[in-house]
Amino acid sequence: MDPITHVAAGILLGQAGRDRFPASRWLVPLAAFAAWMPDLDNVVMLFGPEAYMRYHRGYTHSILGGALMAWLLAWITARFWRQAKRSHLFVLYFLCMLSHLFLDVITAYGTRIFLPFSDARVAISSVYIVDPLFTLALVALAVASFLRPAARRTLAVSGLALLLAWPALGFGVARLTEFRVGQLLAERGEMVQELHVQPDAFAPLWWKVVAREGDQYVLTGLCWTAPEKLLPEHRFERAENDELLRLGRQAPVFGRYAWFTDFPVKMVADIPSGTRVTFADLRFVAVNPLVIRIRGRDIPFTLTADLDTAGHLVRAFFSQMGKATEILPTRTVARAETAVGSPLEAGFR
């Protein structure tokens, strides 16, 4: 989830619990900081794509890591604010950390909340990664809690109720969408082995659908303003984990990518030196026409392999959006920025 939503959640928690602490102008800003604090791990992007995939939304986004950070922040705060009880500060900060984890879990990106005991990424796809309506409502209630001190706690608690209710609504609509999409696909005579529904921009109206049919993924969607038909579908060749793991023996980033992706697909193109294979994850592809119009067909978090005529890896590129970091078939990461075209666009034709 975006930083603004995390900070708004922290403000609401601080305002709701403000009466339990000695008067201080720093309590709410500290709660907002605690709610954002797990994203400190964004610094790992400085160490290359493999580190980003491996460590972002890792230990700082786990329940145990959140507890440790809350304890550390409470200890530091209590050193300067002696009137406040450290135990009370810890509880507030830990709740703020948990709000961050919750807001990340309800997106399709998910987070590894059970580290170090499990490396599984937990995702309950109920809310789009950026939800303007949800965020603006939380921000409005947070601002109102400052403007109307007499109703501060009521407004803050209302915001926290919305924090839980909106994802619950999205989860229910997702299940309904899954049922409706299954009906529409059956009417078209399509036999799918798997069916996944995820929120798209402006959910709970817009939903992305990823269906597996043999060696292909079918990408489509449903808008509840027109529930009688699916959005235009696009077909992609599924990328097998074995292929990524084989390339991972030449550059470890491919093995990490096999773990990182949920719906890996690939597009193959001829280049003068051999073959270019671009891998992507349909988890990061939008189907909402407005998003496509604004962002174009660029897909974040793609991994491209240039292979020679014998099928050996020559070089690779990891792209978060548009620009790619070059990766050699060794563990050395070149820091050059190189533009890499996206043959995945062919999958939309």
pLDDT in tens, 225-274: 999 999 999 999 999 999 999 999 899 889 989 999 999 999 999 999 89
What's the average model confidence in pLDDT over 71-77?
Answer: 96
Q: Report the distance separating Cα 250 and Cα 313, nearest Å.
A: 7
Global pTM exceeds 0.85? yes
**Over 50: is that where the pLDDT of 332 sits?**
no
Lowest mean pLDDT among 58-62, 138-142, 163-167, 307-311: 307-311
What's the average model confidence in pLDDT over 309-334?
Answer: 75
Q: Using CA atoms in the order 306, 307, 312, 314, what is the torsion angle rounded to 10 degrees?
A: -40
Residue showing tokens 């791990």: 41
Q: For the chain, what is the radius of gyration of the CA atoms?
A: 22
225 and 295 share a domain?
Answer: no
Domain boundary among 81, 104, 125: 125
Indicate whether 171 belongs to any domain: no
Indicate whether 170 belongs to any domain: no
pLDDT digits (tens, 9 = 90+) for 10-33: 999 999 999 999 988 899 999 999
Measured N-to-C along each axis, helices 27-36 and 3-16 cross at an angle, to the nearest 10 degrees, of 140
What's the average model confidence in pLDDT over 270-299?
Answer: 87
Using a 10 angstrom Cβ sphere, with 0-12 exposed, 13-18 middle and 19 or more buried, the burial of residue 328 is middle
Q: Report the distance separating Cα 190 and Cα 184, nearest Å.
A: 9
- The H helix count followed by the E strand count for the chain is 10, 10
| Average pLDDT of the chain to the nearest whole number | 90
Query: Could you tell me the CA-to-CA distances from 317 to 103, 198, 237 in Å, in that order?
Result: 30, 27, 20
Indicate whether 309 belongs to any domain: yes
What's the average model confidence in pLDDT over 299-313?
Answer: 90
Total domains in the chain come to 3
Domain that holds residue 92: 3-125
Other CB atoms within a 10 A radius of the CB of residue 141 amount to 23
Indicate whether 130 belongs to any domain: no
